[in-house]
Structure 1
Amino acid sequence: MSPATKGSLAEYKRKRDFLRTPEPAGATPRRAKRQLAFVVQKHAATRLHFDFRIELDGVLKSWAVTRGPSDNPRDKRLAVQVEDHPLEYGGFEGTIPKGAYGGGTVMLWDVGHWEPVGDPHEGLAKGSLRMRIHGSRMQGEWSLVRMKKDGRSARENWLLIKHRDEFAKDEESLVLSFTTSVKTARDLDEITANARPKSARAKTTAKAKTSPTPRARRAPADRRATPGHGKRLPAFVDPQLATLVDDMPQDDGWLFETKFDGYRCLAAVAGERVKMYTRNGNDWTRRFDQLVAPLAQLTKGSALIDGEVCVLDDKGRTDFTRLKQGLAAEAPLVFFAFDLLSLDGVDLRKRPLLERKERLATLLGSLPDDGAIRSSSHDLENGQRVLDALCAKGFEGVIAKRADAPYRGGRSRAWLKVKCERRQEFVIGGWSPSTRRDSFASLLVGTWLGDTLQYRGRVGTGFDREEARALARKLSARARQTTPFADVPPNIARGARWVRPDLVAEVQFTEFTPDGYMRHPSYLGLRGDKPAREVVDEKPQPSTGPVLSAATGVEAAARRKVRLTSPERVVYPEQGVTKAMLVAYYDAIAERMLPYIVDRPLALLRCPQGRAKQCFFQKHDTGGFPAAMKTVEIADNQGTVDEYFYITDVGGLIAGTQMNVLEWHLWGARRDKVERPERLIFDLDPAEGIPFADVRTAAQDIGRALKGLGLVSFPLLSGGKGIHVIAPIARRATWESAKAFSRAFAQHVTALEPDRFIATASKARREGLIYIDYLRNERGASAIAPWSCRSRAGAPVAVPVSWDELERINRADQFSLDDAVAQASEGDPWPGYLTLVQALPRFDG
């Protein structure tokens, strides 16, 4: 190795202790070859990222790409240049020990070679490196473009950009489509579980592949996938989930399907290539490998199909226990398809359910009744009769779905589930000892309530001997000294053994006791497809909920003595929501909304012809408003006095709706002390393409940072793309001090993580970042009110949620009008907000 190469690896070697880490030390000389190496490694360090590396001058020039490469030319992915790595690092896959530099699992995500377009040294020096990549997954022309330094970070920030060529896509698909190692076909969890610090592990893996078992010969189709060959595999999307209710909906417009007892699965098909995702996006193609071949025969194009993988008993019923056993014993699997989300690259999720089902039926054609791929039938009439018939035959229950509804990821009331008997998931937190050495007497299980695991009872039946032994081994490997539960009865805790609470069991039972414990529980099996942290109590809700009918709205307006004109005017054309129905919404939601909006100066978004037509903001009274819309005189920053709107009761909400108000925006102060703000708000606005999961994590980080300064905060789903983090403060601070604090805080957060956040409003500089908008904390600025509708497709609502509930939210616009009313009926998501007194802390960054 040349002295120049050694010198370029000095920083790499300085950061690592090679007695601890299995990473290569960089002692292998460069091999003579013509092609320049290219590699991308998926790295689950403190924050998951992708390391992009290209060979030049005998080393791997390296960049950390926060969100991974995108084959959509519109996506400009932040790439932070890091230290050079040795060439042999391009073959490294394994786990770096916790506590070591870069601790975490490293996956070989892509390998190949690259060609510079032009002089690469000149390109690096000038900050514009153009290249052709020949990888297994990344292909075609790409560029690395250096960003201007802003003085906040010593690191050089670049953008990784795909050129528009035959390999470019209109939607990002690389990172979502490929989740396993290009070398060993393992996911991160499998690499972590098997990793050893010796390279012999890779040799053992390679040796095992030369003599496959009969099961291994049916290679999962994602390993056969070749980018650029045929259609691109559709990417994973968040599945739509059903809300548990206690009875069947009685109104029209529903269809009814069998509730299957299996694993929810999204099947991505592109010709002969197939990938099968669990509800959480895990790639289970290998587990469901016997379904790959029949799925690959469905179309020469591409499709994303929603369905359930099941095993049938001798009476044709789906049986989860047999499914668990069948995955090990290779019992025949059946995929019941019930929805079509995309077809030949066309996204169908905005189309009505019945239309999607018609297209699914055409795609599936005339499949045999006893085949591996089957169409899930549905009934358009009398859901109660369907439920009674299925329960009598021993099925699990019924799913009721709005026939005209679009497909929306996350849980909503457009899909309802009614069960024949109670069953749900529980987290295993311990076990009671048995007289048998290799087993247990019962499992101790619970559900999460916030940050505490609540004990829900013992499960001692439903196991066979082999299953109990296997489960006992899993429990022994998770042993811990202390209980994970918040409250276990002393007689149960005495002699119990505790475990790390990361296993999820499905349990059938009759009911909960008044103390919250299960009656007559029976074990059904482990759920490897559901994260333990998401397991909470499933509480059946009324199936109907408050009805947002036009008649209800007209009646509410009359009751509040507001004259409602054109009640039939359509406000949200996609949903058919009229002005009268919107009045019904505000009448239903008023108890929750009014405490946050009354007596605050308002800015109104008015849409006289509905949300799809021209809308405009209005702050001042120009006459013609009903008396329930009141005004207060406030001088602006230049001293000009104007009349601002405010309301005092539900009549004001209805009066505003009569005047075609679709969005209610409020000041951060009340009219009696307009110079004293009562809250701080940090509006997290993600750039195009940033997934909501990143925004959710960002809000949680902002909330924790504020808590560290002594400020309790609350999250508000904006109803658009972002989240508002709101901290109430005592009405003693000035607008100047509130803005100064929020600016210093936002700039401090941005300086700590410039690859995630930006605090300047420049659209040009926000690519790939989350904008922390602190400017809403200045006098005269406004922000969307909690529970206000938004003038957007889908009739979304800005809904306040708890920090615990935020963990389970998949979109900032997840709640429609009906969903919001149902959410409001479950209790106050912000307990303590209105009575919390917090002084504005000192903070200078």
Structure 2
Amino acid sequence: MHLPVQPTVAPMLAKRVDDIPSGDTWIFEPKWDGFRTIVFRDGDDLMLQSRDQKPLDRYFPELFEPLKAQLPSRCVLDGEIVIAASKGLDFDALQLRIHPAASRIKMLSQEIPASIVFFDLLALDDQDMTGEPFERRRTELESLLKKAKAPIHMTPATRDVATARDWFQRFEGAGLDGVMAKSLDGIYAPNKRTMLKVKHERDCDCVVAGFRWHKDAENEAIGSLLLGLYDTSGALQHVGVCASFTQKKRRELVDFLAPYRRDALKNHPWRSWAEAEGDNQRMPGGQSRWSQGKDLSWEPLRPELVVEVAYEHMQGTRFRHMAQFRRWRTDKPPEDCTYEQLEVVAPHELASIFATGR
């Protein structure tokens, strides 16, 4: 490829803020929950690059022909690959696409095809656009994609704070996890947190049913707590982990958790997971193609402790991202930690969001 912006490029990043900023110097967009992707095209050469600057080409073959048909012959665009189900984005289905078997990728690309949503322009023809203000990049992108058809989309955008606040509430039901704020005159700064993101955060009381040692201090510091919620049948389901601790707190937790380790496996609800190597269930200590050889072994705790955590949103029956420690809930019995406490977000049709972007 011979482009003014050559692969690979570290994507521009965002820093988290508590609220949508006010004023007339921002462009707001929904925050998509998919695989960040930079697309490079130089004639017949096309490359899909991931956030960590690795190729995504083989995993999404169904996007190649639409991209070649609809993008300019020489360009670099920033966006997000998503899979849109009937009621929202399906991140679980998206993860299934990262598979070593080409036959399975081909099958999934036909059964659950992906889409790509663009939100920035890095290069066009012989022009490097990264030094141009975002307002101009956005205008140029709108011109390029004004006739785009599925699976190619352009993200909606607004300068109205009230509209952005409305999106923050309504679009969550479609699987989007917040709102982005981009400065009108901001340049494209690779690997710099120059954008702002506002994400949802909620509270939840969970049972602490196990832990993992810190990777650099086994038997000396706690790495993460394994969290559970009871379902309607009374089974304790693993919903995620909490790991937001200082080094001092990690060492203090060793002594704090020690009493709950005694005879923990005797009647533990996850005992079968602890004893069954290679179990196909999604268990706390299970290895997967996502773990990349990391040690995910875990230590059981008697499920008697309750912790309040902050989480962003659910992905099926689990937290989409790592939960944040808030406080211990010594006043709450573990059996009260059920899915019923979680806020249910009404689904929002993705079709209306995609249509808004054109």
**TM-score, normalization by structure 2:** 0.58
User: Of 181, 185, 189, which residue of structure 2 is paired with 1:400?
Assistant: 181
User: Of 260, 272, 286, which residue of structure 1 is paired with 2:58?
Assistant: 286
The answer as to 2:198 corresponding to 1:418 is yes
Q: Pick closer, same or farther for the CA change 1:260–1:311 going to 2, 3 Å.
A: same
Q: Pick closer, same or farther for the CA change 1:422–1:278 going to 2, 3 Å.
A: farther
CA contact (8 A) 1:509 1:520 kept: no
User: Of 159, 167, 187, which residue of structure 2 is paired with 1:380?
Assistant: 159
Aligned to 2:91: 320
CA shift, 1:510, in A, is 8.4
Q: Pick closer, same or farther for the CA change 1:404–1:366 going to 2, 3 Å.
A: same
In the alignment, the residues of structure 2 paired with residue 471 and residue 292 of structure 1 have an alpha-carbon distance, to the nearest angstrom, of: 33
**Structure 1 residues 795-842: Cα deviation after superposition (integer angstroms, max 9, x where no partner):** xxxxxxxxxxxxxxxxxxxxxxxxxxxxxxxxxxxxxxxxxxxxxxxx
Aligned to 2:326: 513
Aligned to 1:587: none
SS of the equivalent of 2:119 reads strand
User: Of 112, 118, 138, which residue of structure 2 is paired with 1:357?
Assistant: 138
CA shift, 1:313, in A, is 1.8
**Structure 1 residues 209-244: Cα deviation after superposition (integer angstroms, max 9, x where no partner):** xxxxxxxxxxxxxxxxxx6xx768831212111122
CA contact (8 A) 1:255 1:403 kept: yes
CA contact (8 A) 2:227 2:241 kept: no
CA contact (8 A) 1:238 1:279 kept: yes
CA shift, 1:321, in A, is 2.2
In the alignment, the residues of structure 2 paired with residue 313 and residue 262 of structure 1 have an alpha-carbon distance, to the nearest angstrom, of: 13
What stretches of structure 2 of length at least 5 have no aligned partner?
99-104, 204-211, 213-222, 229-235, 254-269, 271-278, 305-317, 330-336, 343-358
TM alignment of 1:567-646, pairs within 5 A: none
**Structure 1 residues 648-701: Cα deviation after superposition (integer angstroms, max 9, x where no partner):** xxxxxxxxxxxxxxxxxxxxxxxxxxxxxxxxxxxxxxxxxxxxxxxxxxxxxx
- Code of the residue aligned with 2:286 in structure 1: it is L
SS of the equivalent of 1:297 reads helix
**Structure 1 residues 705-725: Cα deviation after superposition (integer angstroms, max 9, x where no partner):** xxxxxxxxxxxxxxxxxxxxx
The answer as to 2:117 corresponding to 1:336 is yes
The answer as to 2:68 corresponding to 1:296 is yes
CA shift, 1:267, in A, is 0.9
CA contact (8 A) 2:77 2:123 kept: yes
SS of the equivalent of 1:250 reads coil
SS of the equivalent of 2:120 reads strand
Q: Pick closer, same or farther for the CA change 1:260–1:479 going to 2, 3 Å.
A: closer
In the alignment, the residues of structure 2 paired with residue 257 and residue 391 of structure 1 have an alpha-carbon distance, to the nearest angstrom, of: 13
**TM-score, normalization by structure 1:** 0.26
In the alignment, the residues of structure 2 paired with residue 449 and residue 236 of structure 1 have an alpha-carbon distance, to the nearest angstrom, of: 34
CA contact (8 A) 2:4 2:127 kept: no
- Code of the residue aligned with 1:338 in structure 2: it is F
Aligned to 1:265: 37
What stretches of structure 1 of length at least 5 have no aligned partner?
1-226, 434-439, 461-467, 494-504, 523-845
SS of the equivalent of 2:327 reads coil
- Code of the residue aligned with 1:359 in structure 2: it is E
CA contact (8 A) 1:306 1:337 kept: yes
Q: Pick closer, same or farther for the CA change 1:296–1:451 going to 2, 3 Å.
A: farther
Q: Pick closer, same or farther for the CA change 1:453–1:326 going to 2, 3 Å.
A: farther
Q: Pick closer, same or farther for the CA change 1:390–1:365 going to 2, 3 Å.
A: closer
Q: How many residues align structurally?
A: 253
CA contact (8 A) 2:133 2:187 kept: yes
CA contact (8 A) 2:242 2:324 kept: no
Q: Pick closer, same or farther for the CA change 1:401–1:490 going to 2, 3 Å.
A: same
CA shift, 1:256, in A, is 1.1
CA contact (8 A) 1:233 1:270 kept: no
In the alignment, the residues of structure 1 paired with residue 23 and residue 160 of structure 2 have an alpha-carbon distance, to the nearest angstrom, of: 10
**Structure 1 residues 127-165: Cα deviation after superposition (integer angstroms, max 9, x where no partner):** xxxxxxxxxxxxxxxxxxxxxxxxxxxxxxxxxxxxxxx
Aligned to 1:445: 241
Higher relative contact order (CA 8 A, sep 6+): 2
CA shift, 1:250, in A, is 1.4
CA shift, 1:388, in A, is 3.3
CA contact (8 A) 2:60 2:97 kept: no
Q: Pick closer, same or farther for the CA change 1:447–1:281 going to 2, 3 Å.
A: farther
**Structure 1 residues 79-134: Cα deviation after superposition (integer angstroms, max 9, x where no partner):** xxxxxxxxxxxxxxxxxxxxxxxxxxxxxxxxxxxxxxxxxxxxxxxxxxxxxxxx
- Code of the residue aligned with 1:336 in structure 2: it is V
- Code of the residue aligned with 1:262 in structure 2: it is G
In the alignment, the residues of structure 1 paired with residue 62 and residue 4 of structure 2 have an alpha-carbon distance, to the nearest angstrom, of: 22
User: Which has the higher Rg, Structure 1 or Structure 2?
Assistant: 1
Aligned to 2:286: 475
In the alignment, the residues of structure 1 paired with residue 320 and residue 116 of structure 2 have an alpha-carbon distance, to the nearest angstrom, of: 23
- Code of the residue aligned with 1:358 in structure 2: it is T
CA contact (8 A) 1:311 1:333 kept: yes
Q: Pick closer, same or farther for the CA change 1:481–1:262 going to 2, 3 Å.
A: closer
